[in-house]
Amino acid sequence: MNKELILTKTEQYVRRTLADDSSGHDWWHIYRVRQNALKIGEQEAVDLFVVQLAALLHDIADYKFHGGDESVGPKVARAWLEKLAVDEDIVAHVCEIIQDLSFKGAGVKTEMRTREGMVVQDADRLDAIGAIGIARAFAYGGHKGRPMYDPAIKPELHHSFEAYKNTQSPTINHFYEKLLLLKDLMNTKTAKAIAAERHQFMEVFLARFQKEWEGG
C-alpha cells in the first residue's frame, strides 16, 4: 500500500469534487483542515495517514448538501478508499471519524473514540472559528439564503440533531448556537490554545457588529 500515492490521488479527487463549492465547504476548507490536523497531530501519538485521509475526505459528501443524510459521506469515502485498495481497518477507521465528526447541536454529544478522530475533529472545528470561521459563516448563510441578522429571532441551543439540522436562523445566531461553543469542545491541548485566540477574535467581531448595527 503506497501511502503517498493514496494521499496524492485522494487530494486530487477531493479537489475535483469540491471545485465549484461556494458555501465555505470548498477545497480550501479541506486544505486548511488538513494543515490544522497535521499541526495538531504532530503533538499527539496518532497515525498521520489516517488523520490525513479523514481530513481530506470529511466533507466529500456533507449531509448539509444531501438532504440531511449522515450516511452519504462515509459511504462515498468508503467507495473511494476501496477503489484504491486501502486496508479495511484503515477504511473503517476513516469512515468512523467522518460519521462522528460533525457538531450536531449544543445539547448533543459528539465524542470521538480515537485520538485520530479527536485530532481531525479539532482541526475541522478550528476552521469554523476565528477570522476564517466568520468568513465561512457568512458564506454559508448567503449560500442558504439566510438573513445576516434579525434581532427578533433569538438564538436557540438545540437539544437534538434533527432540530439543529432544520434550523433556518440568521447567520449571527449561528455564532451563539455553535461557533462560540467550540472553544470548550476541543479535545487536544494544541487545539485548545489555538481556539482560545480565535474565540477572542470572534467576541471582538460580535461586539463591533452589534455596535455598528445600532449606528455606532
What pLDDT score does 65 carry?
Answer: 62
Residue 191 structural domain: 3-213
Q: Give the pLDDT band of residue 109 (cuts 50, 70, 90).
A: confident
The per-residue pLDDT for 142 is 93
Q: What is the tens place of the pLDDT at every residue in 152-175? A: 999 998 888 788 877 889 999 999
Over residues 59-87, the pLDDT tens digits come to 997 767 666 677 889 999 999 999 999 99
Q: How far apart are CA 85 and CA 99, in angstroms?
A: 21
The set of cell numbers assigned to 2 is 503506497
The pLDDT value recorded for residue 84 is: 97
Per-residue pLDDT tens digits for 46-57: 999 999 999 999
What single DSSP character describes residue 188? S
Between CA 20 and CA 18 the distance in angstroms is 6
pLDDT value of residue 70: 76
- Whether the Cβ atoms of residue 101 and residue 121 lie closer than 8 Å to each other: yes
Q: How many domains does the chain have?
A: 1
C-alpha grid cell, residue 200: 477572542
Looking at the predicted structure, is the pLDDT value of residue 99 above 80? yes
Instruction: Give the chain's mean pLDDT.
Output: 93
* Interior angle at CA 55, CA 43 and CA 20, nearest 5: 145
pLDDT of residue 91: 98
The CATH number assigned to the domain holding 193 equals 1.10.3210.50
Residue 212 has pLDDT above 70, yes or no: yes
Average pLDDT rounded to a whole number, residues 136-159: 93
* Cα(54)–Cα(65) distance, integer angstroms: 19
Is residue 85 left, alpha or beta, with left meaning phi > 0 and alpha meaning psi from -120 to 50?
left
Selection from 130, 126, 133 nearest residue 33 by Cα: 126
Least trusted range by pLDDT, from 30-34, 80-84, 159-163, 178-182: 159-163
